[in-house]
Amino acid sequence: MIPYGRQEVTEDDIEAVVEVLRSNLITQGPVAPRFEEAVRDYCRASHAVAVSSGTAGLHLACHAMGLGPGDWLWTSPITFVASANCGLYCGADVDFVDIDPATRNMSVEALKHKLEQAETEGQLPKVVVPVHFAGLSCDMAAIRELADRYGFWVLEDAAHAFGGEYRGEPVGACRFSDAAVFSFHPVKNITTGEGGMVTTRRLELATRIERLRSHGITREPAHMIREPDGPWYYEQGELGLNYRLTDIQAALGLSQLQRLDTFIQARRNGAVRYSRLLADLPLILPGESSNSHSAWHLYVVELGGTDPQAIRREVFEALREQGWGVNVHYIPVHWQPDYARECRKLPAAEAYYSRALTIPLFPGLTEGQQEAFAVDLSQAIHQARPVGTA
Ligand SMILES: *Cc1c(COP(=O)(O)O)cnc(C)c1O
């Protein structure tokens, strides 16, 4: 099976991990801080805090922003559940802003409209989580303007977008947001196995997230309430978690980071090839916006026809049978039973979902494989019949 996405681990990566395994400190040693510095510099952010997963990063960032019971978090419905779950972890309520069909990202128009309505009802969000779907940055400058007007925190879910750019700066620079979160799950743009990183320009957020990822403990006398009674002294100032990244994982991340730009270039080349190979098929292909460079984490096509959902299912099954690990990103989060207690209508997200199909795109995918895939996709589309028709 050729998957929709796959990591690339080299002998150098393995060597870097083994080196940590042979050392004294396999966690909380010198490598995780080096990885943090490298990501901070890559993103041109002021601070980077390594965490055990993207989910952990979202959770801690929300917590550090003071999100709690009685507050609202808003995000996009077309995302992985983690973008919304971070609100629930903090005891907040979660709501969704419909997408822009052109970018598949949170629609700024829909956000503006929803904010106007929420203001009259006195239910403005405390945190808004724009998701850079498939690696394409949201319109962060426009979201920043709304954040300044309505007073909410902006937390970028940049799990797909490591290596992407917005207005000439790397995603994660946080020029227009309060923090950004990356994921290093194997399917993402670089991997540490499990892992994540929060970047920010705000010292107070970085300091609090650092403390929260390690039980809420500080060893910094300046941040303590009591006078240390010895050099061993540490203090738990608030309840945190164990969300640390090990040095073993950080070594893999640091080694992978050296190839991030190569990975993104390979993904971009693959995307360009698809736009040529698939141009004549009845599909909506993903685009780029004028002010950003996608990191091309996913390549999602939308199927046409009168009953796209039925056709999508047939095409999906035909391709899977031929060994193509196509997938669907994502089932709208507001349809998940855990979120569906309230009935919400998000027409653009729902229409997108009925047509979406994620096709293989990763650095090791060859031109020959893409050509073969395009032939099989074309055949599958032409053979597909909506369920229930002759
Ligand atoms: C992968 C992903 C996450 C969660 O990251 P993990 O590292 O797997 O916890 C969050 N949001 C989005 C959009 C993702 O794709």
For the stretch 307-351, pLDDT in tens is 888 899 999 999 999 999 999 999 999 999 999 877 889 999 999
For residue 386, the model assigns a pLDDT of 61
Nearest protein Cα to ligand 1, atom 10: 82
Rounded to an integer, the average pLDDT of 361-382 is: 97
Average confidence score pLDDT of the chain: 96
Residues 80-84: contacts with CB under 8 Å, at least 24 apart: 80/159, 80/329, 80/330, 81/333, 81/336, 82/54, 82/55, 82/58, 82/157, 82/159, 83/58, 83/129, 83/131, 83/157, 83/333, 84/129, 84/333, 84/339
For residue 62, the model assigns a pLDDT of 98
CB-neighbour burial class of residue 134 (10 A; exposed 0-12, middle 13-18, buried 19+)? buried
Instruction: Tell how far the Cα of 195 is from the centroid of ligand 1, in angstroms.
Output: 10
Q: Annotated catalytic, 112?
A: no
Residues 93-98: contacts with CB under 8 Å, at least 24 apart: 94/339, 95/125, 95/344, 96/332, 96/333, 96/334, 96/344, 96/346, 96/349, 97/128, 98/346, 98/347, 98/348, 98/349
Tell me if 101 sits within 8 A of 351, measured CB to CB: yes
Pocket test residue of 157, 296, 333 for ligand 1, highest count of atoms within 8 A of CB:
157
Q: How confident is the model at residue 388 (pLDDT cuts 50, 70, 90)?
A: low
pLDDT at 224 over 70: yes
pLDDT at 376 over 60: yes
Pocket test residue of 188, 190, 329 for ligand 1, highest count of atoms within 8 A of CB:
188
Q: Which atom of ligand 1 is nearest to the CA of 53?
A: 7
C-alpha–C-alpha distance, residues 118 and 120, integer Å: 5
Nearest protein Cα to ligand 1, atom 2: 159
Q: What is the pLDDT of residues 257-309, one digit of tens each?
A: 999 999 999 999 999 999 999 999 999 999 888 899 999 999 999 998 788 88
pLDDT at 379 over 70: yes
Q: What is the pLDDT of residues 185-216, one digit of tens each?
A: 999 999 999 999 999 999 999 999 999 999 99
Instruction: Tell how far the Cα of 60 is from the centroid of ligand 1, in angstroms.
Output: 14
Q: What is the pLDDT of residues 72-130, one digit of tens each?
A: 999 999 999 999 999 999 999 999 999 999 999 999 999 999 999 999 999 999 999 99
Pocket test residue of 55, 60, 187, 297 for ligand 1, highest count of atoms within 8 A of CB:
55
Q: How many beta carbons lie within 10 A of that of residue 120, not counting itself?
A: 7
Q: Which of 114, 126, 188, 345 is catalytic?
A: 188
C-alpha–C-alpha distance, residues 207 and 218, integer Å: 10
Domains and their CATH numbers in the chain: 2-257 (3.40.640.10), 260-383 (3.90.1150.10)
pLDDT at 390 over 60: no
pLDDT at 51 over 90: yes
Which residues lie with the beta carbon below 6 Å from any ligand 1 atom? 53-55, 79-80, 82-83, 131, 157, 159-160, 183, 185, 196
Q: Which atom of ligand 1 is nearest to the CA of 194?
A: 7
Contacts of 9 (CB under 8 A, 6+ apart): 191, 252, 256
Q: What is the pLDDT of residues 116-166, one digit of tens each?
A: 999 999 999 999 999 999 999 999 999 999 999 999 999 999 999 999 999
Q: What is the pLDDT of residues 14-44, one digit of tens each?
A: 999 999 999 999 999 999 999 999 999 999 9
C-alpha–C-alpha distance, residues 141 and 156, integer Å: 12
Instruction: Tell how far the Cα of 58 is from the centroid of ligand 1, in angstroms.
Output: 9
127 φψ region: left (φ > 0), alpha (ψ -120 to 50), beta (else)? beta
Partners of 128 in the β-ladder:
74, 154
For residue 387, the model assigns a pLDDT of 55
For residue 203, the model assigns a pLDDT of 98
